């Protein structure tokens, strides 16, 4: 039996045959606004609810923004911080007097802080979020792979199960540097599309080692007061979206005639 940690989203646990194997580094990758951060919040909240302590590294949003976003989904990060069960390492605001801020956005400094947080939080600290890794590679995308290895190797020794996000550029659809996908034990890919004039988001588990995971793309909603909810498997195949609009239109016409 493999020990698995709940992602905090019941349906996602189902897709993962019970959850994420303990000690894994899971990459959450995809376009802006697709649910990566929200999923990280669920993962941390699942730990906090069970009395664990957690570390959350935020590079593109301030600590305040993360706490506020969590509270909109009824996750009380503020109290957990006060109780000394949650450390949010802020790499955006870089406030000099703040114990848990990064001065420079480097992987080395981030690892030092995470280990310091782990020592402060103690043995019940199993979950770590790094949201996002892309910030460390903006100027040196070629370092992505090597640094992903370092992160995995160093933090694995400290007993963490890690959710690390990585952004895909809206212009190219590619990651800022390649690396984390290969080093990661699991990949959850978040996508978006506009269907009938409405933004739709979905996720697909592209990889999860040692797991007979679901292979379908699932439509998701992000709901106020609730967070991320998986709805249903996408009816159309993901690659259908690559078809030119006139071809799609012909298929639609043909399908309605048939119906």
Ligand X SMILES: Nc1ncnc2c1ncn2[C@@H]1O[C@H](COP(=O)(O)OP(=O)(O)OP(=O)(O)O)[C@@H](O)[C@H]1O
Residues at the site binding ligand X, with contacts judged by CB under 6 A: 32-38, 60, 72, 167, 190, 222-224
For Mg ion, give the closer residue by CB, 37 or 101.
37
For residues 238 and 203, the answer to whether their CB atoms sit within 8 Å is: no
Q: Which residues pair with 220 in a beta bridge?
A: 201, 230
Please name the helix (run of DSSP H) or strand (run of DSSP E) that holds residue 160, with its range, or none: none
Q: Least separation, in Å, of the C-beta of 37 and ligand X?
A: 3
User: Which of 33-41, 122-130, 191-199, 234-242 is the region at the interface with Mg ion (rule: CB under 5 A)?
Assistant: 33-41
Query: Minimum Å distance from CB 192 to Mg ion?
Result: 13
Q: Roughly what angle, to the nearest 10 degrees, separates helices 63-71 and 36-49?
A: 70
Closer to ligand X at the Cβ: 167 or 211? 167
In the DSSP assignment, the letter for residue 137 is: G
Q: Which does 227 bind (CB under 5 to 8 A by kind): Mg ion, ligand X, none?
A: none
Label residue 140 left, alpha or beta by phi (over 0 means left) and psi (-120 to 50 means alpha).
beta
Q: Rounded CA gap, 136 and 86, in Å?
A: 23
Q: Quick one: what does residue 8 bind among Mg ion, ligand X, none, with the CB cut-off 5 to 8 Å set by partner type?
A: none
- What's the min distance (Å) between Cβ of 62 and Mg ion? 12
DSSP category for residue 242 = G
The one of ligand X, Mg ion, none whose footprint includes residue 186, by CB under 5 to 8 A per kind, is none
Nearest distance from residue 201's CB to ligand X, in Å? 8
Smallest gap from Cβ 244 to ligand X, in A, equals 28
Q: Is 58 in the site for Mg ion (CB under 5 A)?
A: no
Separation of alpha carbons 82 and 188, rounded Å: 31
Q: Note whether 37 binds Mg ion by CB under 5 A.
A: yes
For Mg ion, give the closer residue by CB, 129 or 204: 129
Beta-strand ranges (E) seen in 78-160 are 86-90, 125-131
Whether cis (ω within 30° of 0) applies to the bond prior to 8 is: no
C-alpha 256/C-alpha 246 separation (Å) is: 15
Residue 50 or 226 having the CB closest to Mg ion: 226
Under the rule (CB under 5 A), what is the footprint of Mg ion? Answer: 37
């Amino acid at each position: 039996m493999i020990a698995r940690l709940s992602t905090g989203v019941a349906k996602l646990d189902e897709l993962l045959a019970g959850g994420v194997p303990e000690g894994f580094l899971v990459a959450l990758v995809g376009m802006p606004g697709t649910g990566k951060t929200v999923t990280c919040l669920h993962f941390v909240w699942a730990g906090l609810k069970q009395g664990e302590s957690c570390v959350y590294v935020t590079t593109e949003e301030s600590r305040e923004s993360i706490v506020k976003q969590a509270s909109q989904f009824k996750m009380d990060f503020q109290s957990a911080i006060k109780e000394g069960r949650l450390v949010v390492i802020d790499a955006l605001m870089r406030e000099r007097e703040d114990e848990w801020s990064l001065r420079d956005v480097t992987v080395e400094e981030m690892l030092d802080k995470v280990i310091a947080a782990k020592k402060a939080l103690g043995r019940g600290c199993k979950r770590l979020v790094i949201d996002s890794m892309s910030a460390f590679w903006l100027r040196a995308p070629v370092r992505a792979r090597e640094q992903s290895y370092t992160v995995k190797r160093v933090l694995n020794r400290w007993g963490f199960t890690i959710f690390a996000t990585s952004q895909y550029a809206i212009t190219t659809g590619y990651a800022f540097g390649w690396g984390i996908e290969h080093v990661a034990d699991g990949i959850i890919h978040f996508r978006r599309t506009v269907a009938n004039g409405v933004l739709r988001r979905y996720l697909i588990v592209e990889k999860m080692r040692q797991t007979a995971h679901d292979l379908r793309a699932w439509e998701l909603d992000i709901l106020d007061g609730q967070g991320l909810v998986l709805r249903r498997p996408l009816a159309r195949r993901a690659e259908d979206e690559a078809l030119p609009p006139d071809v799609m239109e012909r298929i639609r016409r043909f399908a309605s005639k048939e119906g």
